[in-house]
Structure 1
């Protein structure tokens, strides 16, 4: 008799709805706790017309508009921060507009996933969009930069709920369609992500409300999202999830200490990463203190989770860190986010400095090129993942993307070459990330922990983005500190500018002061032309280094991608979550045993 050959690259997902890697008693307890209505089911057990019903379509729209709000709450105004600072500033705290958004969203990801797994999802997402609405109103009415920072705190917290789209939408569709469902969700964000710079500039230059129009727009988006969450999204309720356990018992047994340790450690560590090289030097006591404090906090958190008292509900099940296939996909999303946020920050500044002959409209379009490539790649990735499965698609895209993005270092002054490489590289890495983020929802020992797994992968993704912004920003800053004196100073002096005027010239080239013969004594038209060309060359060399450094992230991705596995085709038709009619909810809860 011939033995069957093993399939090492295929993950077999255990029976969804049951926890399998525990002893029989634990498994039985988990099964008994949930009502049948709270468990996943095969597609043939779904009501006829379910996927065309107002409940399903409305829920999908709630997810899409929520995701749209999460991206637009910051991306629309990010290119306009200079104009906003001039309008309601100036303020030395302008950097905190971005930091508040990133820090708050990173912390909330896991909280939403884990707590909604336990207590039910509906009100979490309703409240999330309400918080986004409050943030948008505060942003639209801000009269100072500090008030704008407060608005971004609310918007960042809301984003932690709303960017959880990938596992929320994955839960309500058959598993084989999760990739396509994610693509549809990404399509909602086209106006607020790849086209954000263009739309934000349009509000600023062609409307009377200027930058506040971005927040007015997001008010409308959040209102639609709240409406759809409230009237259409009815996943399993708390009573369906916990047939025999009261809420007060769960609240008593929940790992609140673990939650506090995790939240505090994440906030402190990410704050250190965002401070370094921007607000404070990397070697400063402020940065080193919070980084060390964050690491110590994580160590205490892990020890606490390992030795958690028996009977307590852990905040973060540590078995997820032992799941190699899951962790590979989670860290690949971090590589994708590192590229997206890093290039979304670096590329627009490169366009502004290197391609000065373009019109403002053309610059706005070109500034969004990296985001456009990434998001359209995420959309395309859903189709690739559906056709080929995640493993070949992710390996191919990652292998193409990393070298292509690094090749942009060849000659940043060559706009067409650099533009083509950036667009191609971000397109493929977006395809990779789009497949990876959906694949994180597959290799789980039970689909009932999809929220916890999704929240953890979202947190890991945020770590990647913050690290990339810190590293690439510091690289650019340090290189400019070298290339500008080395190239601009001799060029200006050889053209005839007095040495005493060099500091004023560099300040003017950087946009910090006016650039004319009054502020820069001895400046002539010929010297100006020479200095501007030298300044472009100096910046080109600095950006070239940044593109090379980006391979640090892409190279890691080229290794991790080989640990991705194919999905178990036998579960293609399984639907992990079911949206109920309100009448069904009432009937089930009334008959609760």
Structure 2
């Protein structure tokens, strides 16, 4: 980077705005989803709206990082933002949930560039001594976006239209591109491209096959061929990654125990995170009967707990050590998971918000400690790859979680309606569309049965979330005091 020409404060502001646009996407869409399915229908495809975005994000995040080393940060980030905005505009014009899912694929392809390349730009233009302070600014973006996302989403849904949840990205993206175009100047050293195309394709086939099986929960006629395709492509992916000189995932880093545990726990907490952020608004609106705004604020509670705990995590690491800090975080995840398991509609949205807050504390303590530990466990020349592997595993956890928990919800709800003797024959999983649309055109009996079915099904989802909290805590016990 040429610091003499680059206007660092303006570039930092543009990078933070770009990261805000990417970070706000998950919570703002989750808040709007009940109204989206009420308008477009297709509740059985609910989780695919998240899975499509997360899959392409996870599949492309490491590739964009390598492309930015070859072609420069600016053109690669611009390309990512452009694709992301095209996807956002199309999402706002969707007339069916199937269309929305396709457009979310496009949005996810662009989103893969935003976080890694934006973070790399900051590393390029600031010295080692300055980065610690600047990373604090970047961390605040996550807190601000997480707190404001559900609130903005709820207000847009209630007073304008759910379509603006996607269109709001357009002015943010355009402003970022203009500032970066005018004030970011870089000297690019031409390098021979070393992009792991084969590994990317094998990975994408494997994850897509497994995710489709999880979402459909055995209801597809192609279960056996899909399972075979997933396993075979995964095996070849691992073999290829071990042999290629420029692997998509550097497996040798996983031999370092703190990195291994941090990455596996990031995957399990990623499942928890998507389970709560995706399905809590549905519970608050569909079961508790609250508005989209109230549902958004219950998610905001987690977003308040997270940055507060992240700032506390730094102090705890110095005073109590890494193992103690992560175990306290793991205990908070257990407590939050239990609160969701015991949540009852009569408890009201305050219980949902408190459960979110406690879970957010656990996420903040563990995620911050993981990054510090990973960066301390490797030399400088591997620090970027090691940090990216943790981000990658969190993304994969989100992707698997959206598919797995969507499958649990759909199968449990279908089983409940099938086994309920008083359920009208017309009721199905997609009848939830009407329930989330305030039950218009439904009898009181049908509304009650659907509400009870949704309660039972979401309860099963939260049991799975708690299971992953237990797994996370058990894995953290394997850390030693010296790690």
TM-score category by the smaller chain?
A: 0.7 to 0.9
Instruction: Verify the 8 A CA contact 2:268 2:468 in the aligned structure 1.
Output: yes
The more displaced of 196-205 and 388-397 is 196-205
1:382 to 305, 310, 324: 310
The aligned residue for residue 361 of structure 2 is: 428
Aligned residue for 2:280?
A: 347
Cα gap change, 1:117 to 1:448, in 2 (>3 Å)? farther
1:150-549 → structure 2 map (5 Å cutoff): 150-164=102-116, 168=120, 171=123, 181-182=134-135, 184-189=137-142, 192-207=145-160, 210-234=161-185, 237-239=187-189, 247=191, 250-251=192-193, 254=194, 256=195, 259-278=196-215, 280-282=216-218, 284-308=220-244, 312-356=245-289, 358=290, 360=291, 363-370=292-299, 372-389=300-317, 390-416=322-348, 418-419=351-352, 421-436=354-369, 438-439=371-372, 442-443=375-376, 445-483=378-416, 489=421, 502-504=424-426, 510=432, 528=444, 536-549=451-464
Are residues 450 and 373 of structure 1, via their aligned partners in 2, closer, same or farther at CA, if it must alter by over 3 Å?
Answer: farther
The alpha carbon displacement at 1:343 in A equals: 0.9
Q: Residue 474 of structure 1: CA displacement? A: 2.8
Equivalent residue number for residue 67 of structure 1: 19
> Which of 72, 76, 79 is equivalent to 1:127?
79
Larger radius of gyration: 1
CA deviation after TM superposition for structure 1 residue 477, in Å: 3.1
Contact 2:27 2:277 in 1 (8 A): no
Task: Tell whether the 8 Å contact from 1:114 to 1:315 is kept in structure 2 after alignment.
Answer: no
Distance 1:436 1:190, change over 3 A: closer
Q: 1:346 to 1:384 in 2, by over 3 A?
A: same
Q: Quick check: 2:325–2:369 contact (8 Å CA) kept in 1?
A: no
Question: What's the RMSD between the two structures over aligned residues?
Answer: 4.1
Matching of residues 108-119 of structure 1 within 5 Å: 108-117=60-69
* 3-state DSSP of counterpart to 2:425: helix
Whether contact under 8 Å (1:166, 1:437) holds in the other structure is: no
Q: Which of the two has greater helix per residue?
A: 2
1:196 and 1:95 map into 2 onto residues whose CA distance is 19
1:582 corresponding residue in structure 2: none
Aligned residues: 476
The Cα of 1:462 is off from its aligned counterpart by 1.8
- Between 293-302 and 461-470, the greater mean CA deviation after superposition: 293-302
TM-score normalised to structure 2 length: 0.81
Candidates 540, 552, 567, aligned match of 2:467: 552
- Which stretches in structure 1 are left out of the alignment for 5+ residues? 1-36, 39-46, 240-245, 493-500, 521-527, 569-593
Deviations 1:36-85 (A, max 9, x none): x89xxxxxxxx9xx9xx983333332332222222344543444456556
Any unmatched runs of 5+ in structure 2?
none
Cα distance in 1, alignment partners of residues 412 and 86 from structure 2: 41
Change (3 A) 1:321 1:415: same
TM-score after normalising by structure 1: 0.68
Distance 1:166 1:323 in 2: 27
**Residue 557 of structure 1, CA deviation:** 1.4
Deviations 1:372-399 (Å, cap 9, x if unpaired)?
Answer: 2333333223312321224432221112
The aligned counterpart of 1:12 is: none
* Structure-2 separation of matches of 1:62 and 1:195: 18
